[in-house]
Structure 1
Amino acid sequence: MKIGIPAERQARENRVAATPESVKKLITQGHTVIVEKGAGTKASFLDEAYEAAGAILKDAADAYSADIVLKVQAPMAEEFELIRAESVILGMLDPFDHVTAARIAASGATGFSLELAPRTSRAQSLDVLSSQSNIAGYKAMMIASNLYQRFVPMLMTAAGTVKAARVLVLGAGVAGLQAIATAKRLGAVVEASDVRPAVKEQIESLGAKFLDVPFETDEEREAAEGMGGYARPMPATWVKRQAELVHTRAAQADIVITTALIPGRPAPTLLSVETIKAMKPGSIVVDLAAGRGAEHEGRRGGNCPLTCEHEVVEHFGVKLVGFSNLASMVATDASSLYARNLLEFIKLITNSGGQLEINLEDDIVSATLLCQSGQLNKKFN
């Protein structure tokens, strides 16, 4: 089969869906790989490396003419005219963006949105959310330490002792756990909170203190169990108690990293305006949910309503970081991991002869199906 890799056209997107390493493996499996010229440049993969791996370098139209098209993000408006009805598109297609999902379906192509992969052992090797969130958590702490105007670790010098920075991580999914681990490597004192009691052991194993908000009702306990590995919206009673604890701890923290996202819903508010007011001047907030929170003053914030997507803003002496695509800021490694995820998924939709064979009886294939033959998956209608 022909496999095409177009360049990503979204602003601030530096990743690419295939690397020279993954191209070489695809060719070994008998596929022909067409890479758009310059597709990997922003991720430090030059055209010469793709050619050396055996790829054919052409333009975007040729990449989209392939049987399978590999993308990082959903196609933009100008790309839809290049999509063939017979093609299969793999990528993080943002299935909850109903306009884009409908346009992909209307193109006639078959689309697989890999962020819908179930959180199961079998799907781990193609879990794009985990591979990219892991990078985002690392980068969040590195950005915070760069903006923070003090040392992160404790230092004992002839001029006096410098206290270690206090870091608070809200949300202990993949991104949160990596943020915790990175903060500890840098020498910070770390606390973390999450609605799911099951992550307490993971948080403590990384050397952080778990902020426990006890459950008072069966409804709270049931919601905290989550669904499919993801958090669920919590009852208002629990949210109120958590907000009070977070307010107290954030006021004592030097760096706060928020990572709470719920698929298909606005991100929950974890840091109120009053909490930001209570924080110390010079504190840093890195909000991984920027642009996906509730609307505030005519725009969407994140886990904090004051966050501005794509910007670093300052309120009450606190810097709020709203970079919404942190994985793209580590584009080389992010692309390498993502390309391996795609390689694993391609195995599920091709047979031993390397030909397309979509088996919707496979739980991973059926879970990630966005559209087929012009029809949007019913769960997204």
Structure 2
Amino acid sequence: MYLAIPKEDINNESRVAATPGTVKELISAGLDVYVETEAGSKSYISDKEYKEAGANIIGSGNEILSQADIIIKVLPPSVEQVSQIKPNAIVISLCQTTIELDIVKAMRDRSLTSLSMHLVPRTTLAQKMDALSSQANIAGYKAVLMAASKLSVYMPLLMTAAGTIRPAKVLILGAGVAGLQAIATAKRLGAHVEAFDVRPVVKEQVESLGAKFIEVDSSGDEGVGEGGYAKETSDDYKQRQQQLIHEHISKADVVITTALIPGKTRTHTYTHFYG
């Protein structure tokens, strides 16, 4: 069976769907693996490393899509790419099936089978396949580093002969996988960290990382959805939420937003911007 690993065609996308180590495992499972040339270049993986792992290197993206029985990608194929994939093929990617509807429709019309890594449940049995949590973890870590590099003040408290410099104030909105990693990273850099989440149950996790948990007074299950994920809150809650965040965001040096409701576009919890 022909398994293809195409090059990600989004300019700022540096990830690749499989490493040489993964390629070896796929070949051991009986698959013929074909990798588009330079697919791993932005991840510092050369074509030579893929060849040494047993993969075949293909120069044309169109060729690799049109012949593959299985295609694995980080991001889903574009509508144009879908038209090049042979019917009845299987596409495995981080496709957001409730948001990227044009791509889902194109794959349906092409008679493709799409396996979305976004929909892998966060359970013990599925942990090894939980790509969403692994990428969210990286995003939370990287967000803090990017903020620190752009910040005009120090992150940690500094006490010098010339005086004392207060630590930067960081506000994290959302305490899921990305938010908790952002909290931990900001604390390691010495910042004063506050975090908000609609789920009161995460307060203990936030405080265990050394951050202050800010919350809206409400019934205990206001923002708690199925499986421990966040859910849509009432209009009254949202109004009080905006007032609370308004108070804290105006004092923050850094605001990192990670709040997300599964199956929906990014949530907006405030409408004012501060210069």
Q: TM-score, normalised by structure 1?
A: 0.68
Deviation larger for 22-31 or 188-197: 22-31
Find the aligned partners of 1:43 and 1:9 in 2 and give their Cα distance.
14
Find the aligned partners of 1:111 and 1:224 in 2 and give their Cα distance.
31
Q: Are 1:76 and 2:78 an aligned pair?
A: yes
Residue in 2 that maps onto 1:86: 88
Residue in 2 that maps onto 1:31: 31
Residue in 2 that maps onto 1:212: 215
Find the aligned partners of 1:66 and 1:269 in 2 and give their Cα distance.
40
Displacement of 1:62: 4.1
Displacement of 1:32: 1.5
SS in 1 for 2:83: helix
Displacement of 1:141: 0.5
Find the aligned partners of 2:255 and 2:20 in 1 and give their Cα distance.
37
Q: Are 1:158 and 2:161 an aligned pair?
A: yes
SS in 1 for 2:103: helix
Q: Are 1:180 and 2:183 an aligned pair?
A: yes
Find the aligned partners of 2:75 and 2:13 in 1 and give their Cα distance.
9
Residue in 2 that maps onto 1:190: 193
The one of the two structures with greater contact order (alpha-carbon pairs below 8 A, sep at least 6) is: 1
Structure 2: which amino acid aligns with 1:107?
A: R
Q: Please give the residue correspondences for 1:57-68 in structure 2 after superposition, counting only pairs within 5 Å.
A: 57-58=57-58, 59-64=60-65, 65-68=67-70
SS in 2 for 1:213: coil
Find the aligned partners of 2:228 and 2:49 in 1 and give their Cα distance.
38
Q: Are 1:140 and 2:139 an aligned pair?
A: no
Residue in 2 that maps onto 1:111: 114
Find the aligned partners of 1:222 and 1:255 in 2 and give their Cα distance.
29
Q: For the aligned residues, what is the CA RMSD?
A: 1.5
Residue in 1 that maps onto 2:48: 48
Structure 1: which amino acid aligns with 2:252?
A: A
Q: Is the 8 A contact 1:119 1:229 kept in 2?
A: no
Residue in 2 that maps onto 1:226: 225
Q: Please give the residue correspondences for 1:115-130 in structure 2 after superposition, counting only pairs within 5 Å.
A: 115-130=118-133
Residue in 1 that maps onto 2:266: 267
Residue in 2 that maps onto 1:327: none
Find the aligned partners of 2:53 and 2:231 in 1 and give their Cα distance.
44
Structure 1: which amino acid aligns with 2:20?
A: P
Residue in 2 that maps onto 1:20: 20
Once the two structures are superposed, residues 189-225 of structure 1 have per-residue CA deviations (whole angstroms, 9 ceiling, x without a partner) of 1110101111111111111111122214xxxx44422
Displacement of 1:74: 1.3
Structure 2: stretches of 5+ with no match in the other structure: none
Q: Which runs of 4+ in 1 moved over 4 A?
A: none
Find the aligned partners of 1:77 and 1:241 in 2 and give their Cα distance.
41
Displacement of 1:266: 3.8
Q: Is the 8 A contact 2:140 2:180 kept in 1?
A: yes
Find the aligned partners of 2:257 and 2:2 in 1 and give their Cα distance.
41
Q: Is the 8 A contact 2:199 2:221 kept in 1?
A: no
Matched positions, count: 272
